Amino acid sequence: MVRTVNGNWLIRARDGRLGVYTTRDDAVWCRAERRPGGDTWLPWRKVGGGQRLHAGLAVGRGPDGYAHLVSWRPTKAEEASLVHSTHFRVHLAALDWIPVGHPDKAGARTGVPAVAVDAEGRAHVFVGNRSNSVRALVQKERGGWNAWSDLKGTDVHEQLVAVTGESGRIEVYGTGPDGILRWLQEEAGAAPVPADPLPVRVEPGTLGALPTSKEHTTLFFADPEGMFYAWRPDTEPTPLLAAAGPGPPALLRCTLEGHDCTLLAQRSASGRVAFAACPTEQESAGMWWTESGPQLPVDTAVALAEDADGRVVAATVTPDGDLRVARQKDEPGLALAAWQEV
């Protein structure tokens, strides 16, 4: 399963407003709360003007709350180029799309891009090339971009996962025939370098990553039989529970009843949104799915975030652009108010 939007498309901006990003009609669209933590939302607006784009978008949120967006645009016949835009406030217009090149210098679009933003606010773009290895493009601190670098890799699946650890360093993950591939940034501003792979059976398109402490990022993935696992360096993968549906889970580290918890969400096989939680880095405590909300169309995207008041917010966007939101109530546990179409 290849996601239309790679990365968390529900983000809290610098001013506290939640914003969402999606793709349809050869464009990227966004919406924002009218005020931080409010129940009403501004209308959909197109990002970057009239630029025509291919389907697919990468979203990364910087420590400053700015959103970095990366997509493919058609150039000439059978060719494409990656473009980047920065969104400083989700309720304002984003910067125009700026061409940033192609991992093979020129040609058709290759893999689905991923983007993460380091502690200095620099975007790092990752994408597969024609050889199914991984290329990286790092933004300069004072504008512009460094040259493409080759992260290597063999037969890497087209969907990569890029995150910024709590240390501020960038981490990149991908799947291949031999398991999960890893690249870790050793110094600020540099491209990540290969780390020891994780030799596991993994279903492509199910990989997710969540920083869970200053030392660790936890990987979540499903095997071909549909069992979810969690893994951190120097441990064995921990089986969690059967996947509720296809694709990766939406992930959020949050506080529930005063406890540091990790929350997972997926569109389930029934079409509803399923939630599961456990104490952070204590997956052995057990997890189970609880379904919520209405039945949703196939390919509906699910995302999680905390709003300006620290409440968990779940959001879904259908392929037609229908946005629904459920917000945590002031009750023990993860009690969500009724889903609202906004």
Q: What is the pLDDT of residues 161-176, one digit of tens each?
A: 999 999 899 999 999 9
pLDDT exceeds cutoff 90 at 332: no
User: What pLDDT does 165 receive?
Assistant: 94
7-32 mean pLDDT: 95
Question: What domains does the chain contain, in order, with CATH numbers?
Answer: 1-199 (2.120.10.10), 202-342 (2.120.10.70)
Cα angle value 309/311/312 (rounded, 5°): 145
Confidence of residue 124 (pLDDT cuts 50, 70, 90): very high
240-248 mean pLDDT: 95
Give dist(CA 148, CA 139) in Å, integer: 10
- Compute how many other C-beta atoms are within 10 angstroms of the C-beta atom of residue 75: 15
59-70 mean pLDDT: 94
Confidence of residue 145 (pLDDT cuts 50, 70, 90): very high
User: What pLDDT does 67 receive?
Assistant: 95
248-252 mean pLDDT: 96
Confidence of residue 315 (pLDDT cuts 50, 70, 90): very high
Structure confidence by residue, pLDDT tens digits, 81-107: 999 999 998 888 888 999 999 999 999
Total-model pTM: 0.95
Token representation of residue 171: 């981490």
Looking at per-residue pLDDT, the higher value among 219 and 284 belongs to: 219
Parallel, antiparallel or unpaired: strands 5-6 and 57-61:
parallel
User: What pLDDT does 2 receive?
Assistant: 58
Residue type at 298? V
Cα angle value 189/194/196 (rounded, 5°): 140
Give dist(CA 306, CA 197) in Å, integer: 32
The percentage of the chain sitting over the pLDDT mark of 90, rounded to a whole number, equals 85
Give me the count of residues in the chain.
Answer: 342
Confidence of residue 188 (pLDDT cuts 50, 70, 90): confident
* HEC assignment per residue over 27-63: EEEEEEECCCCCCCECCCEECCCCCCCCCCEEEEECC
Token representation of residue 73: 């645009």
Give dist(CA 175, CA 182) in Å, integer: 9
User: What pLDDT does 60 receive?
Assistant: 97
